[in-house]
Structure 1
Amino acid sequence: MEPLGILQHAWKTDARLVGMALDGLSDEDLVKRPDDECNPLGWTLWHQCRYEDWVISGIDGQEQVWTAGAWHDKFGVPADPDQLGMRQSLDEVMAFKPTVEHLKGYSEAVREKTLACLQSVSPDDLDREVANPSGGTRTVGEALGILVLDHFHHSGQVTYLRGYLTGKGWFGA
């Protein structure tokens, strides 16, 4: 297995786990949260996908899935390619009302693009500079490293929130 193949395998495994976490949830479950100061599961997963979409588009130079697939229309929000769900107020977070269907669809579309991008990244690409959402640049290797960390943190949050909402047993035996 090539080094980037490890990332591809991890992303595929994570996609199955997050898909399982969404199975059986209602759209109303997506906006529930354990405390008034916490982000809900639906927003957390949407933010995770938006950041992944933004980073991967910076690496492969292609349009984001968000706009290319008109996902912004499906979610009922502006097409702003730089709206990643960062630095939003809790009021803004709670105004966002995703559906399970749209979250699954968008996350699957982003994942497909991510896996294709990882398949095409060469060792030389890892030193190429790309934009950083906070400003400035970073290398592709740094961007992928940060994306992996961010992605799996949020997947853990999503699966925790699933357990919080429905209790033990959702993961299976």
Structure 2
Amino acid sequence: MNSAGILADAFERIHETVHAAAEGLPPEDLNARLDEDANSIAWLVWHLARIQDDHVADAAGTEQIWFTEDWVSRFDLPLEKGSTGYGHSSAQAGSVKVASGGLLLGYFDAVHERTLGYVRGLDGRALDRVVDEVWSPPVTLGVRLISVIADDLQHAGQAAFVRGVLERRR
């Protein structure tokens, strides 16, 4: 398996985990918080999709589908239009609510498909390209994609945990 195949496989695992955590849940479960400061499944999935959308679009030199496919209006969140959830306060995280799982998973799936299209076209040399010089050492494309994968898998696992707690409470 080449590097593009490994990256695609990792993003497919995120896809599977997100769907297992969120699919089929009613809005009250997607928006539920285990306590007043906990993140909901809606926030966790929205955030991981926003980070993936933001970071992959930047690396690919494209616009985020949050804007190009007008997900920003469909979600109609009381947040800054470009918000990704990074650094959100508890109140901001709590303001991310969805009316349906279709909206949440629709955005995630659109981001996922665009990400797969991008990573499947990469070769090993492309992963050495510096995409962010703010950090020391500068961040390469390979490091950025692994960072997105790691963050997304953590948040997808947290969403699965929240789902399990909600199901046990019934």
Question: Could you tell me the TM-score, scaled by structure 2's length?
Answer: 0.88
TM-fit CA distance, 1:25: 0.7
Structure 2: any 5+ residue segments left out of the alignment? none
Counterpart Cα distance in 2 of 1:19 and 1:88: 24
Amino acid at match of 2:54: W
Q: Relative to 1, partners in 2 of residues 1:145 and 1:89: Cα closer, same or farther, differing over 3 Å? A: same
Q: What is the RMSD computed on CA atoms of the aligned residues?
A: 1.9
Amino acid at match of 1:119: R
Counterpart Cα distance in 1 of 2:50 and 2:165: 24
Question: What is the aligned residue count?
Answer: 165
Amino acid at match of 1:17: T
Equivalent residue, structure 1, for 2:61? 61
8 Å Cα contact 2:22-2:41 kept in structure 1 = no
Structure 1 residue runs of 4 or more that deviate by more than 2 Å after TM superposition: 77-81
Percent identical residues: 31
Corresponding residue SS for 1:62: coil
Work out whether 1:34 is the aligned partner of 2:18: no
Equivalent residue, structure 1, for 2:131? 130
Corresponding residue SS for 2:62: coil
Work out whether 1:101 is the aligned partner of 2:107: no
1:1-173 alignment runs, 5 A limit: 1-77=1-77, 80-81=81-82, 83-98=83-98, 99-131=100-132, 135-136=134-135, 138-167=139-168
Question: Could you tell me the TM-score, scaled by structure 1's length?
Answer: 0.87
Counterpart Cα distance in 1 of 2:60 and 2:52: 12
Counterpart Cα distance in 2 of 1:54 and 1:156: 21
TM-fit CA distance, 1:79: 7.0
